[in-house]
Chains A and B, each alone.
Chain A
Amino acid sequence: MLKIENLHARIAGKEILKGLSLEVNPGAVHAIMGPNGAGKSTLGNVLAGRPGYEVTAGSVSYDGQDLLALEPEARAAAGVFLAFQYPVEIPGVNNTYFLRAALNGQRKARGEEELDSMQFLKLVRGKVKDMGMTPDLLNRAVNEGFSGGEKKRNEVFQMALLEPRLAILDETDSGLDIDALKQVAAGVNALRSPQRSFLVITHYQRLLDYIVPDFVHVLADGRIAESGDAQLARELEAHGYAWVGEQAHAEARA
Chain B
Amino acid sequence: MNAAVTPFVESMQAAALRIPSAGPAWLDEARRAALQAFVERGLPDTRNELWKYTSLRALNQRSHAPVDPAAASRAAVEGLLPASSADAARVVFVNGAFRSDLSALAGLPQGVTLQPLSRALLDQPEPLRFLLAANAGSDDGFTLLNRALAVEGVVLRVDAGVRVAAPLHIVHVGVASDTPSAWHLRSLIELGEGASADLVEHYVGQVDAEHFANVVRDVTLRERARLGWTVVQTAGPGALLLRRSDCRLGEDSALDFHALELGGKLARHELRVELAGTRARFKSRGAFVLHGRQHADTEVLVTHCGRDTASDSLWRGVADDRARGVVHGRILVMRGADGADGGFYNKNLLLSPDAEIDTRPALEIYADEVKANHGATVGQLDENMLFYLRSRGISLDVARRLLVRAFCAVALDGIEPASLREHCEALLSAQLPEASV
Contacts and interface: CB of A to CB of B under 8 A. Distances in A.
Interface of A: 48-52, 71-73, 75-77, 81-82, 84, 87-88, 90-93, 97-98, 101-103, 105-106, 109, 141-142, 158, 162
Contact of B393 (A84, A91, A109, A141): A109
Contact of B394 (A49, A52, A101): A101
Contacts of A97: 402
A109 B398 CA distance: 13
Nearest to A78: B393
A72 B391 contact: yes
Contacts of A72: 387, 390-391
A90 B406 contact: yes
**5 closest A-B pairs by CB:** A92-B406, A76-B393, A106-B393, A102-B392, A72-B390
A71 B396 contact: yes
B51 to A, nearest CB: 33
Contacts of A141: 406
Given A76-B391, A76-B392, A84-B388, 16 more contacts: A50-B387, A51-B383, A71-B390, A72-B391, A73-B395, A87-B388, A88-B382, A88-B387, A90-B389, A91-B406, A92-B407, A92-B410, A97-B402, A98-B392, A101-B398, A106-B393
Contacts of B393: 73, 76-77, 102-103, 105-106, 109, 162
Contacts of A48: 391
B365 interface: no
B429 to A, nearest CB: 12
Nearest to A102: B392
B394 A105 contact: yes
A76 B398 contact: no
B396 A73 contact: yes
A162 B407 contact: no
* Consensus secondary structure, chain B interface: helix
Interface residues of B, number: 23
17 contacts: A52-B383, A71-B396, A72-B387, A73-B390, A73-B396, A76-B390, A76-B392, A81-B392, A88-B384, A92-B406, A92-B410, A98-B392, A98-B402, A102-B389, A102-B393, A105-B394, A105-B398
B69 to A, nearest CB: 42
Nearest to B402: A93
Contacts of A71: 390, 396
B403 A90 contact: yes
Contacts of B410: 92
Contact of A105 (B385, B395, B406, B407): B395
Given A51-B383, A72-B387, A102 B394 contact: yes
A92 B396 contact: no
Contacts of A90: 385, 388-389, 403, 406
A156 to B, nearest CB: 13
B271 interface: no
A67 to B, nearest CB: 13
A101 B402 contact: yes
Nearest to B392: A102
A72 B388 CA distance: 9
A84 B387 CA distance: 11
Contacts of A92: 405-407, 409-410
Contacts of A106: 393
A162 B392 contact: yes
Contacts of A50: 387, 391
B369 to A, nearest CB: 33
Contacts of A81: 391-392
Most central of B387, B392, B395 by chain A CB within 10 Å? B392
Contacts of B402: 93, 97-98, 101
Contacts of B387: 50-51, 72, 88
